[in-house]
Chains A and B, each alone.
Chain A
């Protein structure tokens, strides 16, 4: 478990250093089109002769960056909503839970499609689509945890000591609901990553020629038989990242996996 931060730091270091060692991700090399891995291009080249390794790294920064940004945005908003709903006595909590359930029942791709119609395909539409529903699982989880925590004796204790409700929430409850929420954020990161790259695969998110894992799979798909490595590299990147985040999230939440 203690190795995870080290592994993450190592991966981040690789993403920072590699661009200096690899060719530019968007510059075509027409002498080497769909070339297999070689010394000059460690993971081969794609249909325009662009370096697949360089594009994978460039795509990592975009795919992971967008996913992290989306998880942070939705996480902060969702947790704030859930915390307030869990602490309030009124019907707000029940309304929130039902709203979250209703939104969660709709496929995310529907929001991706609608956002692409209104805003035009691109990164803004992608973020809107991911955030439109992404906050609901956080809100539900935070609501559930807050309701559970506020019923505990230590809360009763600090209230008896004269703590205000705001202080109870901001200092005591939030500190105790943080660990399960971090685990939840890891799982959300995995599914957000798949949504981000999935919508980009469909051409509704990151637009070519920008390197993004889903968009790379889409571009390389036509050459799957002739040059499987063009699709293999981003495929493996997506799957391994999602699987790693899933395993980490489950370990953190105390489950197996």
Chain B
């Protein structure tokens, strides 16, 4: 069961690798035109020697059938050789590694912040559906999913950095640089998590095992958190898997607005500069993160839900 759910995920990586491999061919045309362009740049000869052409094609891995080219390229990628970026002429793997560390930190903070605010908000709202707290949180939640990052970020900068002057408007380095970007990134997942947890917890609170927990005299807080909220959070785990990939790849807006040297910004700059090796590598990494997050989520969801765990163990 678990295996069958996990199996398609690596397939996505294969598809992504084909897309990444095909990208320069979609953009730059066929092998001949690439080789000719290289030759034109290197030797100012209008009619290049076929032998030289073949040598250049081999040097760029553009000789032989396309499937062979793909396999050789894939082999290099799997060895960690992602080539040199067109713009900086430095290894893409190193550029991407540095950027991923930055984005990972930012995404981690944002996700923690979202979980720390969204989950309790959802559980408290579920305690009295339709109550004042529930209605207030619901309105905040709608704002949270309706205010996009590109709107939230500039206004946070204006208020916190320009008017109040308490936080830096942009840059990267100290913990003070994390606050505004993490807030911006956390708004949407927090709102979504709160809504999901609220709905699930209301559902769980009506179940028999909660009645039993109340009947045996547990305090309302313990019932709410230990028995209801725990199950209410299962679907949030699934959601967070989507957010990890989304935050890492999708923090483009935030990283651009706040001037953060992360993976999203690297990818964005590479797109504008048509720095194809970086775009290829970035695509692969974002998909890989999504795949790994997907696998982790499936496993965690299994561990968090006792019923599903028993069902799995019985197999």
Contacts and interface: CB of A to CB of B under 8 A. Distances in A.
Interface string A93-107: 000001100101111
Main secondary structure, interface of A, reads: helix
Contact of B279 (A104, A106, A114, A224): A114
B241 A198 contact: no
A201 B142 contact: no
Given A102-B9, A107-B249, A224-B162, A118 B146 contact: no
B252 A105 contact: no
A198 B253 contact: yes
A63 B13 CA distance: 33
B293 interface: yes
Given A118-B26, A246-B145, A246-B146, A108 B250 contact: yes
A190 B146 contact: yes
Interface in A190-204: 190, 194, 197-198, 201-204
Given A106-B245, A117-B274, A256 B154 contact: no
B276 interface: yes
Interface in B137-186: 138, 142-143, 145-151, 154-155, 157-158, 162
A21 interface: no
Contacts of A246: 142, 145-146
A119 B274 CA distance: 11
B146 A242 contact: yes
A213 to B, nearest CB: 9
Contact of A235 (B151, B257, B282): B151
Interface string B107-151: 000000000000000000000001000000010001101111111
Contacts of B142: 243, 246-247, 257
Contacts of B155: 231, 235
A169 B287 CA distance: 36
A66 B209 CA distance: 49
A250 to B, nearest CB: 8
Interface in B274-304: 274, 276, 279, 282-283, 286-287, 290-291, 293-294
A214 interface: yes
A204 to B, nearest CB: 7
B249 A118 contact: no
B246 A107 contact: yes
B243 to A, nearest CB: 9
A217 B219 CA distance: 50
B100 interface: no
A98 B12 CA distance: 10
B294 to A, nearest CB: 6
Nearest to A221: B154
A239 B250 contact: no
Interface stretch (B59-67, B78-86, B265-273): B265-273
A225 B165 CA distance: 13
Given A217-B154, A221-B154, A243-B142, A202 B23 contact: no
Nearest to A95: B8
B149 to A, nearest CB: 7
Interface in B1-26: 8-9, 11-12, 19, 23, 26
Interface centre among B245, B256, B257, B272 (most CB of A within 10 A): B272
Given A113-B271, A231-B154, A242-B146, 20 more contacts: A99-B8, A102-B12, A105-B242, A105-B290, A105-B291, A107-B245, A107-B246, A107-B250, A107-B286, A109-B250, A110-B249, A113-B268, A202-B150, A204-B271, A218-B150, A221-B154, A225-B162, A242-B147, A243-B146, A246-B145
19 contacts: A102-B294, A104-B242, A105-B12, A105-B245, A106-B286, A107-B245, A107-B286, A109-B250, A110-B249, A117-B23, A117-B276, A194-B146, A194-B148, A202-B252, A202-B253, A221-B257, A235-B154, A246-B142, A246-B145
